[in-house]
Amino acid sequence: AQSVAQPEDQVNVAEGNPLTVKCTYSVSGNPYLFWYVQYPNRGLQFLLKYITGDNLVKGSYGFEAEFNKSQTSFHLKKPSALVSDSALYFCAVRDPNQGGKLIFGQGTELSVKP
Amino acid sequence: KAGVTQTPRYLIKTRGQQVTLSCSPISGHRSVSWYQQTPGQGLQFLFEYFSETQRNKGNFPGRFSGRQFSNSRSEMNVSTLELGDSALYLCASNGGDSYNEQFFGPGTRLTVL
């Protein structure tokens, strides 16, 4: 069965510092991996995806993620955090044999302080 | 290009009632997925509709049902509401056949009293 884990409920970072939000996955076959962000009282916004190809994926708002097959990880990163990056971040995996079904991690609350 | 529309945005119901939520996907998208978001269980997949057919279903009781119309608009229905059904219900519009970028609506916040 597919599963996703985000080991940190909360990540605190100072503005201007690099940030990392961790995600590990368990899938059978090739993983289709995604990161979404949710701001208060809003839906989910797509950040980036890994389907195939380069292990370093670049996405929206300066975010990037590194796919590591041996460690089954897909950590989200940004070189310099902004206060406006404060939000709830979700990692997700999709089983290509199950259509559009996404399995989400439990979410990580990112707090960026000035 | 208009985004995903969900109506209503907020609902308050009482136990035992039923509720219908609506989702209009992005024009041209034929697939719609529904998710329930709660603080305790996180984001959980309810079901997916593609061209008016249910393509996939999550682990929810039969009180949760849905349908899709020929214009790709989708509705989900919850009957005999329970307190635990209080949640944010999110709809995702799936583009093309690859599902590699799903667009979410703002959600409907359902409160069951």
Identify how many contiguous H helices and E strands chain B contains and give both numbers.
0, 11
Q: Which of A49, A90, A100 sits opposite B92 (nearest CB)?
A: A100
pLDDT in tens, A11-64: 999 999 999 999 999 988 888 999 999 998 788 999 999 988 889 999 999 999
- Residue to mutate among A44, A50, A57, A108, with most B CBs inside 10 A, is A44
* Cβ atoms within 10 Å, residue B113: 10
pLDDT in tens, B47-82: 999 999 999 999 999 999 999 999 999 999 999 999
Rg (alpha carbons) of chain B, rounded to whole number? 13
CB contact under 8 A, B92 and A101: no
Q: What is d(CA A110, CA B7) in angstroms, rounded to the nearest whole number?
A: 29
pLDDT in tens, B9-53: 999 999 999 999 999 999 989 999 999 999 989 999 999 999 999
Q: Is some CB atom of chain A closer than 8 A to the CB atom of B85? A: no
CB contact under 8 A, B103 and A46: yes
Q: Is some CB atom of chain A closer than 8 A to the CB atom of B102? A: yes
What's residue B97's pLDDT? 55
pLDDT in tens, A55-100: 999 999 999 999 999 999 999 999 999 999 999 999 999 887 777 8
Q: What is the DSSP letter of B107?
A: -
Shortest alpha-carbon distance between residue B32 and chain A (Å): 8
What's residue B1's pLDDT? 62
Q: What is d(CA B20, CA B4) in angstroms, rounded to the nearest whole number?
A: 17
Note if the bond before B8 is cis, omega within 30 degrees: yes
